[in-house]
């Protein structure tokens, strides 16, 4: 499969990723600059980080000094848990 210069590769949909995969913030929350890209989380990046700080959303894993990402399995567990019940993050 070839692509032309400037053509963007669309990342796989969240639902198709294995639980062991990692996702970055830009793949989790809605970005008005990318309206065609679906976001699995119904809140903003600021709210995501507020929830991480409060312990109600899983902490990201540091993949390098400048890259943090979340395990897909942990994000799915958050989404599947009843409202207000998020333990072990």
3-state secondary structure of 10: coil
Rounded-to-integer distance, Cα 53 and Cα 15, Å: 26
Q: Where are the alpha helices (DSSP H) in the chain?
A: 25-28, 45-54, 72-80
- Residues 35-53 pLDDT 10s: 888 889 989 999 999 999 9
| DSSP assigned state of 57 | S
Mean pLDDT, rounded, for 47-73: 96
Whether the per-residue pLDDT at 57 is higher than 90: the answer is yes
Write out pLDDT tens, residues 7-45. 666 667 888 889 999 999 999 998 888 888 888 998 999
């Amino acid at each position: 499969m070839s692509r032309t210069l400037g053509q963007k590769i669309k990342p796989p949909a969240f639902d198709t990723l294995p639980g062991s995969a990692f996702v970055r913030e830009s793949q989790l929350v809605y970005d008005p600059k990318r309206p065609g890209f679906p976001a699995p989380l119904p809140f903003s990046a600021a709210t995501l980080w507020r929830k991480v700080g409060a312990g109600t959303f899983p902490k990201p894993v540091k993949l390098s000094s400048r890259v943090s990402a979340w395990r897909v399995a942990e994000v799915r567990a958050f989404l599947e848990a009843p409202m207000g019940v998020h333990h072990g993050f």
